[in-house]
């Protein structure tokens, strides 16, 4: 075979990356292996991973127990369709998920990705109201600054202005948006925060199917934290006005905010919950939509008597097997202590950023650390600076944030935060 061009050159000319362009000089780095909290680049450098491959790899990379689980499943069967067939990993995983999520959630729909689990939740809400003879209830209420995914339904409930999808506004279903809560985390919800939801539901509940929101932490829409108490009010209002409540826990699930699921912080049970990202410990693409007996039985009794969704790779056995192992590993680990320790280390390590003229705010919640800069940065400049500092962090806009694997040791967290402080300090000061 003729010598081919270098992998990086081929990549630059032929491969799309997330939110990237072809031939626009967005740097990409070749990873050849990963172990624990470190990525190994083709050029021999090692990077400390500060964001768990987009918040998924909570146990770090190449974990022996997860490797073992996926290998054992591979020896039995890599995949089989889920239409009319079932298998032990799907059943065992569903059983465990229903045990660790709020008690009223009783059924599981496995989806291929977080975005699809959001589509499924929206569809379930629409079918639920149709089955109840209230087909006019087909709009959704969402929070500004929210992010729920890249597919069309998910885009329609993500922030319409500051979000990633403004370009598609003319094509998207027109949903109803309310301001993002501003009451700080840990405080009782201010009435001014809950009033927009109350007013909207009072005026338009006859046409509203559900409210969808990310509980406690708004992730990719701006890394904002808000009062868990808001969720309690939202639950009450949804009950009062006959509207379903959907929690998108794709980012917050599996311990990231300090409780296994963020919903626990308000002792509130949604009618539907979407989970993904850390579900499989970062090994395979897998997500799920959980719902209550009330929603699932209403859909199943209604017309056409089935739920109208069924992906080809639904409940892939390899994904379910490794997700089961990941959940078991998490539950048997001292994850609360680890998240609490990361919280302390992130707070201490990022504190020096507060003094920097480039920085607007620093905030930490659970194992999430955010440095909000005064000015948005060009990733083409910032990314190489972070890599040269020995860390893998993927900022967006004004946000340089950390979501380390839970297994990260104190010394590595110190290296990570020190690198972030150093890089931020060297940025040009924001023009005023
Ligand atoms: C990442 C994310 C999604 C989308 O998940 P994908 O797997 O990227 O499709 C949806 N909602 C939230 C809150 C997320 O963080």
Position in ligand 1 atom list of the atom nearest CA 277: 7
Position in ligand 1 atom list of the atom nearest CA 150: 9
Looking at the structure, tell me whether residues 131 and 113 fall in a common domain. yes
Cβ atoms within 10 A of the Cβ of 166, count?
Answer: 13
Active site (catalytic) residues: 19, 147, 248, 277
Q: Tell me how far the alpha carbon of residue 162 is from its chain's centroid.
A: 18
Question: What's the pLDDT at 401?
Answer: 98
Best probe residue, ligand 1, of 17, 147, 272, 287 (max atoms within 8 Å of C-beta) = 147
> Which one of 312, 332, 352 terminates a domain?
332
> Which one of 305, 332, 359 terminates a domain?
332
Does residue 304 have a cis peptide bond before it, meaning omega lies within 30 degrees of 0? yes
Would you say the CB of residue 248 lies under 6 angstroms from ligand 1? yes
CATH code for the domain in which residue 390 is found: 3.90.1150.10
- For 166-192, write each residue's pLDDT tens digit: 889 889 999 999 999 999 999 999 999
Position in ligand 1 atom list of the atom nearest CA 113: 7
Looking at the structure, tell me whether residues 274 and 360 fall in a common domain. no
In a domain, 229, yes or no: yes
Looking at the structure, tell me whether residues 340 and 223 fall in a common domain. no
Instruction: Specify whether the CB–CB gap between 375 and 402 falls below 8 A.
Output: no
- For 266-307, write each residue's pLDDT tens digit: 999 999 999 999 999 999 999 999 999 999 999 999 999 999
DSSP-derived 3-state class of residue 11: helix
DSSP-derived 3-state class of residue 129: helix
Position in ligand 1 atom list of the atom nearest CA 220: 15
Would you say the CB of residue 163 lies under 6 angstroms from ligand 1? no
User: What is the tally of structural domains in the chain?
Assistant: 2
Per-run averaged pLDDT (10 residues), the chain, 432 residues: 79 94 91 98 97 98 98 98 98 98 98 98 98 98 97 95 81 96 96 97 98 97 97 98 98 98 97 98 98 98 95 98 98 98 98 97 98 95 97 97 98 98 93 52
In a domain, 21, yes or no: no
Looking at the structure, tell me whether residues 328 and 354 fall in a common domain. no
Looking at the structure, tell me whether residues 250 and 270 fall in a common domain. yes
- For 241-271, write each residue's pLDDT tens digit: 999 999 999 999 999 999 999 999 999 999 9
Looking at the structure, tell me whether residues 325 and 347 fall in a common domain. no
Would you say the CB of residue 292 lies under 6 angstroms from ligand 1? no
Question: What's the pLDDT at 2?
Answer: 55
Closest C-alpha residue for ligand 1 atom 8: 114
Would you say the CB of residue 266 lies under 6 angstroms from ligand 1? no
Domain housing 426: 334-432
Would you say the CB of residue 36 lies under 6 angstroms from ligand 1? no
Q: Tell me how far the alpha carbon of residue 155 is from its chain's centroid.
A: 14
Looking at the structure, tell me whether residues 328 and 373 fall in a common domain. no
Q: Give the residue among 238, 62, 229 at the shortest CA–CA distance from 140.
A: 238
Would you say the CB of residue 114 lies under 6 angstroms from ligand 1? yes
Looking at the structure, tell me whether residues 257 and 338 fall in a common domain. no
As a whole number of angstroms, the distance between CA 357 and CA 18 comes to 31
Closest C-alpha residue for ligand 1 atom 11: 148
> Which one of 332, 367, 394 terminates a domain?
332
Question: What's the pLDDT at 4?
Answer: 75
In a domain, 293, yes or no: yes
Closest C-alpha residue for ligand 1 atom 15: 251
User: Ligand 1 centroid to 149 CA: how many Å?
Assistant: 5
Instruction: Specify whether the CB–CB gap between 131 and 144 falls below 8 A.
Output: no
Would you say the CB of residue 222 lies under 6 angstroms from ligand 1? no
In a domain, 53, yes or no: no
As a whole number of angstroms, the distance between CA 382 and CA 423 comes to 8
Q: Tell me how far the alpha carbon of residue 377 is from its chain's centroid.
A: 23
Question: What's the pLDDT at 432?
Answer: 46
CATH code for the domain in which residue 184 is found: 3.40.640.10
Looking at the structure, tell me whether residues 171 and 277 fall in a common domain. yes
């Amino acid at each position: 075979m003729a010598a081919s061009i270098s992998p990086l050159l081929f990549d630059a000319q032929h491969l799309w990356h997330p939110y990237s362009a072809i031939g626009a000089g967005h740097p990409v780095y070749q990873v050849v292996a990963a172990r624990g909290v470190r990525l190994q680049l083709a050029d021999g450098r090692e990077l400390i991973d500060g964001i768990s491959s987009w918040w998924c790899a909570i146990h770090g990379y190449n974990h022996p127990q997860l490797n073992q689980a996926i290998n054992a499943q591979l020896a039995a069967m890599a995949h089989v369709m889920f239409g009319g067939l079932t298998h032990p990993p799907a059943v065992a995983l569903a059983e465990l998920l229903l045990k660790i999520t709020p008690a009223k959630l009783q059924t599981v729909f496995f989806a291929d990705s977080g975005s699809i689990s959001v589509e499924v939740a929206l569809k379930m809400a629409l079918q639920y109201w149709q089955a109840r003879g209230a087909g006019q209830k087909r709009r959704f209420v969402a929070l500004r600054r929210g992010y729920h995914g890249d597919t069309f339904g998910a885009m329609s409930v993500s922030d319409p202005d500051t979000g990633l999808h403004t370009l598609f506004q003319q094509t998207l279903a027109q949903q109803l948006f309310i301001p993002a809560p501003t009451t700080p985390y840990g405080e009782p919800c201010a009435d001014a925060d809950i009033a927009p939801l109350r007013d909207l539901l009072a005026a338009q509940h006859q046409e509203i199917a559900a409210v969808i929101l990310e509980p406690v932490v708004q992730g990719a829409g701006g890394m904002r934290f808000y009062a868990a108490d808001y969720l309690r009010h939202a639950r009450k209002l949804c009950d009062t006005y006959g509207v379903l409540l959907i929690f998108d826990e794709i980012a917050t699930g599996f311990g990231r905010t300090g409780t296994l699921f963020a919903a626990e912080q308000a002792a509130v049970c949604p009618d539907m919950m979407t989970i993904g990202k850390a579900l499989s410990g970062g090994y395979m693409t897998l997500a799920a939509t959980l719902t209550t007996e009330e929603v699932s039985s209403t859909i199943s009794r209604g017309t056409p008597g089935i739920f109208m969704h069924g992906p080809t790779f639904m409940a892939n056995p390899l994904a379910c097997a490794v997700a089961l192992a990941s959940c078991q590993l998490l539950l048997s680990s001292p994850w609360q202590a680890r998240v609490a320790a990361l919280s302390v280390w992130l707070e201490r390590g990022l504190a020096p950023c507060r003094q920097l003229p480039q920085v607007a705010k620093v905030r930490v919640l659970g194992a999430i650390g955010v440095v909000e800069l005064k000015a948005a940065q060009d990733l083409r400049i910032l990314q190489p600076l972070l890599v040269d500092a020995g860390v893998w962090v993927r900022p967006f806009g004004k946000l340089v944030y950390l979501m380390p694997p839970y297994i990260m040791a104190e010394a590595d967290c110190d290296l990570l935060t020190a690198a972030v402080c150093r890089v931020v300090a060297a940025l040009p000061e924001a023009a005023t």
